[in-house]
Structure formats: structure tokens, C-alpha cells
Amino acid sequence: MNPKESPILIVDDEATNVRLLQKMLSNMGYKNVISTQDPTQVLPLHQEYNFDLILLDINMPVLDGYGVMDQLNEATNHKLPPILVLTAQHTQTFRQRALDSGARDYVTKPFDAGELLSRVRNLLDVQMSHKYMLHQNEILEQKIQERIQIISDTRLHIVRCLGRAAEYRDEDTGFHIIRMSKISMVLAKASGMDMRQCDLILNAAPMHDLGKIGIPDHILLKPGKLEPHEWAIMQSHAKIGADILEGDDSDLMIMAREIALTHHEKWNGKGYPNGLQGDDIPLVGQICALADVFDALVSTRPYKKAWPLDKALALIKSESGQHFNPKLIDFFLQNLPEIIDIKDTYAEPGS
């Protein structure tokens, strides 16, 4: 932020003028002065050095000062570096055109050295203040992004802990939520969701059964068939989970609530808790339902042994158009090798 080290460009087709300006600036301690007598070189030079000030002659062959400013305006989206115009033209029309083209200041030839140097100093001081404010804004933005990341990471950690807390109620380990969430991500990607949505479902799916923490053990862990009144209590876990997740307006928690509430709905309308049918069921709920059922089938539970893969796949296929969206079944089968790899990679310890 030292003005004396700022890159300065002198543009004048007269070599005498260039040498004079170089000497004046050098005597005042400016250390980074570059010059050219070819106005067509201004743009490439600025792209290389990003000048803090340009001393620009107006009357030059091939490309005059106005043309130079037009090029810079186009290349920088009208974010010109400070330009001090030097010209022998004294009329108001020329001065006004220069200022309208983007020049910050205007000095007529022959110029007074003291006045010129004062204007150079003032323009550089303003430029340094501008760059300082930009730098501070960048620092502030970086700190804001770091804080947002910390909050996001903390939220994700809480989400995963909640998912594990629910899973440990009826599972020996928390590997089910890992497999189920990763399979959900595969299906989300196959369904055309963008990477942000896929990442959201990966992190929201672990909370699908959060409501199970509100189900009594004698029902949740019962090895045999549930009685009708017990089944009604078990079904309430979808609403309990959604209620627990209510009140946070982040995209992650909104999706997690939607999944918790709808992952037991069925394509034919015979699911719970609201009997939604077809595309009235949110896609994320449809996806997590399929991922959850498949993993439940091929996993050991307190009330059943793990099914062989061929038997589980046969059931999944038979539920096309009944429990599951037929299109999702197609996506599931098209991505079966990846899904099986997830199943095997995150298998229960000792299985």
C-alpha cells in the first residue's frame, strides 16, 4: 500500500515528454514507473502490471487517448485504473470528453511540475485508500465464510450425531445410516439432482429415523410381529422425527425434515403417515424410502436375518409401481454395481 511503489504507466508518443515525466517521478521517489510511446501497448501492459495510475497523452497516432480509454473500459468492464490526461488541448470540449471517457483528472501542456506531481500524489492516495478498503472487505468476507463454514460443520456434526443416536436404538452399529445415505446419493445423482442437492441428501438422509428415539423399547425392539396398536405407535416415528427437526430454515434441515416425514410413504398411496401418492411424495422421500428398504432387507435386524441379495432384488423389482417409483427402480438397477459396492464396503463389522 506504499504509493511510492505503485506501478505507474506513462503513455506519450513524444520521447522528450516521456523522459521528462520519468525524471520528475523518479526524483520524487516513485520506483515502479513504466513508459511506452505506443498506445496500442497500453492494454497488454495494464493486464500484466495492473497499474495504479496512468499518465495518458490524448493526441497520438494510430490510437489516441480516447481510444486507449475505450479499450481499457471494455477490457475492465468500466473499472479503469486512475487516469491523468495530459494534452495541449485547452478547450472545455476536450476536457469534458476525457472525463466522460473515464479520466480522473486533466492537466494541460505545458504543465507546471509542482501541480502535476500534486495531482499524481492525490490520485495515488485515493487509489491506495480504495485498494485498502477492497483488501479489508476481502478479509471480512473471508472471515464471514470461515464462520459460515464453522457453523455448517457444526450443524453437520450434530446431524450425524442425531442420526447415530436414533440408529443405536434398534441397530448394533450405525453403519445402516452410512449405507443408506450413500445409496440415496447415488439415486439422487441418477435422478438428475445437481451436486449441491446430492450433497444435501447425503447429509440429511442419516436423520430419516430420528423419530425412533420417541418409540418405547418394548415396541421398537420387539422381535416378533407388532400388534395393531403397537404398529400405530411405531408409525408415529415419522411425525416425531419431523417435529424434532422443525424450526430450522437451513436447506439441510428442511430436507432432513422432509425425508423424516415422507420416507415411509408409498407410490401407491398406502404408506404413512399421510398416505401420499405418486409424485405428491417429495423425490427425496421416494429416494430414501428405496435406499432404506433395500438396506434393511440385506441387513440383520433384531426381528429378522439378512436376506440374500437375489431375494432382496426380487422384492425391490416386484414393488415397482407399488411401494416405489418405477423410474427410481430403473435408476437403482442401472447403478446396482455401485450400490452393491457401498453395501460391501460399509458392511457391519464381523458380517
Grid cell at residue 342: 457401498
Using the 3D structure, point to which of 140, 157, 178 is the last residue of a domain.
140
- Cα dihedral sign for 156, 160, 165, 170? positive
Structural domains of the chain, count: 2
Using the 3D structure, point to which of 121, 140, 159 is the last residue of a domain.
140
Q: CA 304, CA 339: separation in Å to the nearest integer?
A: 22
Q: Kindly report the CATH number assigned to the domain that includes residue 68.
A: 3.40.50.2300
Note if the bond before 337 is cis, omega within 30 degrees: no
For residue 176, give its domain range.
Answer: 168-345
Packing angle of the helix pair 283-297, 326-334 (nearest 10 deg): 60
Ramachandran angles phi, psi of 310, nearest 5°: -65, -35
Is 325 found in the same domain as 191? Answer: yes
pLDDT tens digit string along 47-83?
A: 999 999 999 999 998 899 999 999 999 999 888 899 9
Packing angle of the helix pair 175-190, 195-204 (nearest 10 deg): 160
Residue 192 belongs to a domain: yes
Is 45 found in the same domain as 181? Answer: no
CB atoms within 10 A of CB 95: 17
Residue 91 belongs to a domain: yes
pLDDT at 260 over 90: yes
SS3 state at 291: helix
Is 219 found in the same domain as 124? Answer: no
Is 131 found in the same domain as 245? Answer: no
Is 242 found in the same domain as 189? Answer: yes
Tell me the pTM.
Answer: 0.61
Distances (CA, A) of 138 to 130, 152, 282: 12, 21, 39
pLDDT tens digit string along 214-254?
A: 999 888 888 788 999 999 999 999 999 999 989 888 898 89
